[in-house]
């Protein structure tokens, strides 16, 4: 089955689709082996895994390379992090075609101005609408008209006033749906009340990032299910837990020059575990 059709089936099932974010092939394979039905690529996590100082330094070439390797590592649908499309409406078609060639089932396209000086800023709504229209046409031209386009808006994060910022994000999200996006991803939602406002306001499927430092104590995935959120991504869970686990293991060894703090099956997996994950 076309992976884009599969991910649409999952979203239309009536169940909230939970998509942990991968940063390399093994993290994607672990996500699949843990029973998740789809994988989201995280540009932020890919940047961290490649020791880039900022996500803005993640160019399209590296993003595509990692994404292609993630797609090859799993059988479930993969959504790419297309950042801002790596250009305007005149360039985004090339980006969409390249990610489709990499085998993705869907892609995030955001309205944030990547690397903006002075903090987070978003492009004019009309510009983002043009980019989404061009992206949808590019998907048709590339032979995958069902490519799931997740329109991300950072209007809430860019605003000094959270209430006004959320209103702007909802307004933009609805405009993006009309332009050809399939889903709206509002970043930086931090409370369950904001979740409820977004679900009520967005005239289509809503995606929320959970497990973030600013919201992980505010709501659970079950809370989001009850509120009718269509999709939940976990952008940083894999990379933060992986880095912490490795740092704990190595710093403990450095300080003691022993392995007493490590236990097979607890801190360390077995080679049998590895074989089961990678299928060899």
Query: Each residue of 232-243: pLDDT tens digit?
Result: 999 999 999 999
Question: Can you tell me the mean pLDDT for 63-87?
Answer: 98
Question: Can you tell me the mean pLDDT for 16-37?
Answer: 98
Question: Can you tell me the mean pLDDT for 1-19?
Answer: 94
Tokens 């649409």 belong to 8
Question: Can you tell me the mean pLDDT for 173-185?
Answer: 98
Question: Can you tell me the mean pLDDT for 14-43?
Answer: 97
What are the Cα distances from residue 86, in Å, to 36, 51, 61, 123? 29, 20, 10, 13
Nearest-angstrom CA–CA distance, 250 and 244: 10
Q: What is the CATH number of domain 3-235?
A: 3.20.20.60
Question: Can you tell me the mean pLDDT for 68-97?
Answer: 97
Strands 78-81 and 148-153: unpaired
Question: Can you tell me the mean pLDDT for 218-229?
Answer: 97
CB of 132 closer than 8 Å to CB of 151: yes
pLDDT of res. 9: 97
Question: Can you tell me the mean pLDDT for 161-190?
Answer: 98
pLDDT of res. 41: 98
pLDDT at 117 over 80: no
CA torsion, points 156, 158, 161, 167, in degrees to nearest 10? -40
Percent of the chain predicted with pLDDT > 90: 92
DSSP 16: P
pLDDT of res. 119: 82
Q: Which helix (H) or strand (E) holds 197?
A: helix 192-201
pLDDT at 169 over 60: yes
User: pTM of the full predicted structure?
Assistant: 0.95
Tokens 């059988």 belong to 75
pLDDT at 280 over 60: no
Q: Band of the pLDDT at 217, cuts 50, 70, 90?
A: very high
Question: Can you tell me the mean pLDDT for 104-129?
Answer: 93
DSSP 122: B
Integer-rounded Cα Rg, in Å, for the chain is: 19
pLDDT at 115 over 90: no
**Averaged pLDDT score across all residues of the chain:** 96
What are the Cα distances from residue 222, in Å, to 18, 97, 232, 269? 11, 36, 10, 29
Question: Can you tell me the mean pLDDT for 151-162?
Answer: 97
State the CB neighbour count (10 A cutoff) for residue 256.
10
Tokens 């689709």 belong to 17
State the CB neighbour count (10 A cutoff) for residue 100.
20
């Amino acid at each position: 089955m076309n992976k884009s059709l599969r991910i649409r089936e999952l979203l239309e099932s009536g169940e909230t689709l939970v998509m942990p974010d991968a940063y390399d092939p093994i993290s994607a394979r672990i996500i699949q082996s843990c029973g998740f039905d789809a994988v989201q690529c995280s540009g932020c996590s890919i940047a961290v895994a490649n020791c880039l100082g900022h996500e803005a330094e993640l160019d399209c070439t590296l993003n595509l390379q990692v994404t292609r390797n993630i797609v090859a590592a799993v059988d479930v649908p993969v959504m790419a992090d297309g950042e801002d499309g790596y250009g305007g409406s005149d360039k985004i078609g090339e980006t969409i075609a390249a990610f489709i060639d990499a085998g993705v089932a869907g892609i995030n396209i955001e309205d944030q101005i990547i690397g903006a000086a002075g903090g987070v800023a978003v492009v004019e709504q009309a510009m983002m609408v043009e980019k989404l229209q061009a992206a949808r046409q590019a998907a048709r031209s590339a032979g995958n008209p069902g490519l799931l386009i997740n329109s991300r808006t950072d209007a809430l994060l860019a605003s000094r006033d959270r209430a006004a910022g959320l209103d702007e994000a909802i307004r933009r999200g609805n405009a993006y749906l009309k332009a050809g996006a399939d889903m709206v991803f509002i970043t930086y939602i931090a409370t369950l009340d904001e979740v409820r406002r977004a679900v009520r306001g967005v005239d289509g499927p809503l995606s929320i990032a959970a497990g973030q430092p600013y919201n992980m104590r505010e709501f659970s995935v079950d809370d989001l299910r009850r509120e009718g959120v269509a999709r939940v991504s976990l952008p940083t869970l894999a990379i933060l837990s992986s880095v912490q686990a490795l740092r704990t293991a190595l710093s403990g060894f450095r300080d003691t020059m022993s392995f007493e703090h490590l236990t097979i099956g607890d801190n360390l997996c077995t080679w049998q575990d590895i074989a089961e994950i990678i299928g060899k």
